[in-house]
Structure 1
Amino acid sequence: MHDQNRAVYVISVAAELAGVHPQTLRIYERKGLVDPARTGGGSRRYSQSDIDLLRRIQELTNEGLNLMGVQRVLELETELMAARAETEALREQANRALADTRAAAAEQLRAQRRDLVPLRQDVVLYRDNRPGRTR
């Protein structure tokens, strides 16, 4: 199993994997776009998640965004992912509540049917036999 967040790549390897110069990674770090792990001696270590982020930054800069624009897009993408996760959680909660409501309604209907007592009903023709009444 490969851990996406395990910081294993040194800056030169990370830069090569992301297709940028190591100095570019240092700039990205100074701008707050990426935050690599540090060893005890202070060396940067990048994870696969960091590499994926660096590639996304490169995509955005290649499309013409400056680093401020990239930062805003990344923030909005993070917010969108959080909103989607929240929406999905709420959808699941609503579905569970609906299923519970349906089950309770079905049980109540079954209980009501158990309480019903069938009546025998006969159809009887009514005749008014009182004196002076004719039909």
Structure 2
Amino acid sequence: MPEDLDESSPIFSIAAAAELAGMHPQTLRQYDRIGLVQPQRTAGNTRRYSMRDIGQLRQVQLLSQEGVSLEGIRRILDLSNEVRGLKERVRELEATLADQVIDRRGRVFAAGVEGVTSIRSGARPAKRNQVVVWRPLHRG
């Protein structure tokens, strides 16, 4: 798959999206009109669906079969989309924080039996592989 394509890339016509979702194209048009799934539009105003849209269409179908009203489905989809956006934002913030922690140029020190040593930020002090043998003194 080309690098510029992802799950939100609008690549499917309404006929292809309807087939992938197991629905009639008119159902997709109706869902677009009421705002359940809003595909992107081409310059010629043709609907183009993404894999994410098709996943939402399948979710609409499942919820509808379970008896959830179209308004309830719309609210569920809105909340799901909000959660997905918030998760993406958290991942971005975590990456930014990790980059800042790594890029910190402060000095880091480790203390051991040999004294205090300076180490690279993010590194662990070297462990010594020395063997110490201990025998209790016999008194008697």
- Fold in common (TM above 0.5): yes
- In structure 2, the partner of 1:47 is 50
Quick check: which one's strand share is greater? Answer: 2
Question: Aligned in 2, Cα 1:98/1:61: closer, same or farther, shift over 3 Å?
Answer: same
Partner Cα separation in structure 2 for residue 110 and residue 66 of structure 1: 66
Provide, for residues 94-131 of structure 1, a one-character-per-residue CA deviation record: whole Å limited to 9, x for no partner: 44555566x62526x868xxxxxxxxxxxxxxxxxxxx
Runs of 4+ in structure 1 deviating by more than 6 angstroms, as ranges, are none
Question: Aligned in 2, Cα 1:84/1:23: closer, same or farther, shift over 3 Å?
Answer: same
Question: Aligned in 2, Cα 1:35/1:94: closer, same or farther, shift over 3 Å?
Answer: closer
Is 1:17 aligned to 2:6, yes or no? no
Partner Cα separation in structure 2 for residue 45 and residue 82 of structure 1: 21
> Which residues of 2 match residues 1-135 of structure 1 at below 5 A?
1=1, 3=5, 4=7, 5-9=9-13, 11-38=14-41, 42-96=45-99, 104=106, 106=108
Fraction of identical pairs, as percent: 40
Question: Aligned in 2, Cα 1:16/1:97: closer, same or farther, shift over 3 Å?
Answer: closer
In structure 2, stretches of 5+ residues that fail to align are 110-115, 119-140
Larger radius of gyration: 1
User: RMSD of the TM alignment (CA)?
Assistant: 3.1
Q: How many residues align?
A: 109
Specify which structure has the bigger relative contact order, considering alpha-carbon pairs within 8 angstroms and separated by 6 or more residues. 1
Question: Aligned in 2, Cα 1:79/1:26: closer, same or farther, shift over 3 Å?
Answer: same
TM-score normalised by the chain length of structure 1: 0.59
In structure 1, stretches of 5+ residues that fail to align are 112-135
Question: Aligned in 2, Cα 1:82/1:42: closer, same or farther, shift over 3 Å?
Answer: closer
TM-score normalised by the chain length of structure 2: 0.57
Partner Cα separation in structure 1 for residue 88 and residue 43 of structure 2: 36
Quick check: which one's helix share is greater? Answer: 1
Provide, for residues 75-102 of structure 1, a one-character-per-residue CA deviation record: whole Å limited to 9, x for no partner: 111111222223333334444555566x
Amino acid of the residue matched to residue 108 of structure 2? A
